[in-house]
Amino acid sequence: MVEVPQFDMPFAARLSPHVDRVRQHTRSWVRDMGMLGGVPWTEAFYDAADFGGFGPLTHPTASFEDLKHINDWHTWGFYVTDAFREGFLRPRNVVGGKGFVADLKSVLTGAGSPMHPAGKGLADLVARSTLDEEDRHHLDEFLDALLWELHNTAQGRVPDPIDLVEMRRRSVAAELSAKLARASVGAELPEELLRNSTMRALVDSFGDVPALRQEIVGFDHIYGAGASTTSAVLAVRQFFGCELRQAVSLVADLIAARLRQIGTILGELPSLADEYGLDAEAKAGLRRYAEALKSWLAGELLWTQRSGRFSSSPTPARTSFHSPSGLGTAAVLVR
């Protein structure tokens, strides 16, 4: 079994005051979409995972209406990942996995009539969202990443660490998560700034932190149980020819390096704002965006530590977050 290390977090977690209402809304939404039918989610598993508590920790300043919508998107992403893993990845069902992804892509284009809860959830979200071409592209990438993992696993192949990190950014929808964080604080920034290499590196590092951490936290439940060969821990172990414990340590070191890089980039943002000639309103938006990313990362860590999603025998999660511990959680808003 993997010994999960103590993850440091330089940013403080906060909790939305809307947490209880968001939990109620999300539970009603997943039930309406048919997501609590037993595979992959039972009601007991859903309660243990506390998907309704994810958004209130990662978007603590969002309004109640925005937070409901944001949390529905994140919950849909969790459901699709879990449904794909249990339905197609674990049994190595390549044909079925391709059909599942094709059905979801048809929903994105408006051509499909969803039958699966994943499709119903996506159809509902698309109907009440304003998706642009870029959003649809990143959703396509998210779905393609599922198939990439399935093909690797079906062939018994452990991917190269560099390829794995690149694809994990897509499988956790890093671009869309960053965009939701930006929108949640009303940060309207010029496209030319967002395409800047420094800003791109910020989003990449932002995506790597939760993606790689979940590879460690979920190792025994997913990779150790043979559900997939596509693991950063396995990739590092194979690439360096090291023991499992050392591979976990190396992935944890990479997470820490990404957090340091994020801190460095955040310190460069004022100069970048001046370079692009941002006015006072845009500069304020950039500061809010930076704070939103920090809150997201700290909140995601706290949620991952408290959630039963990666446990083989999950127990109901606490309905309140109290007495947090560890670097970066001292300032958490407690309930």
Among 150, 152, 171, 194, smallest CA distance to 285 is for: 194
> Number of folded domains in the chain?
1
Percent of the chain with pLDDT over 90: 87
Which pLDDT tens digit goes with each residue over 9-35?
Answer: 999 999 999 999 999 999 999 999 999
Average pLDDT (188-205) is 97
Quick one: pLDDT band at residue 113, thresholds 50, 70, 90? confident
Interior angle at CA 180, CA 65 and CA 291, nearest 5: 100
Residue 82, domain member (yes or no):
yes
CA 150 – CA 163 distance, rounded (Å): 15
Domain membership flag for residue 98 = yes
Distances in whole angstroms, Cα of residue 41 to Cα of each of 1, 26, 36, 78, 94: 24, 14, 5, 10, 22
pLDDT in tens, 198-212: 999 999 999 999 999
- Residue 171 included in any domain: yes
Q: Within the chain, where are the H helices?
A: 19-32, 43-49, 54-58, 64-84, 94-109, 117-127, 133-154, 161-171, 174-184, 191-194, 197-217, 232-240, 244-275, 280-306
* Residue 213 to residue 211: CA distance in whole angstroms: 6
Q: For residue 305, what are its two tokens?
A: 């530590």
The pLDDT confidence band at residue 315, using thresholds 50, 70 and 90, is low
Domain that holds residue 140: 19-306
Establish if 236 belongs to a structural domain: yes
pLDDT category, 327, cuts 50, 70, 90? very low
> Where residue 294 sits, what CATH number does that domain have?
1.10.600.10
> Does some domain include residue 316?
no
**Contact at 8 Å (CB) between 58 and 300?**
yes
* This model's pTM is above 0.85: yes
Does residue 13 sit within a domain? no
Question: CA 11: distance to chain centroid?
Answer: 18
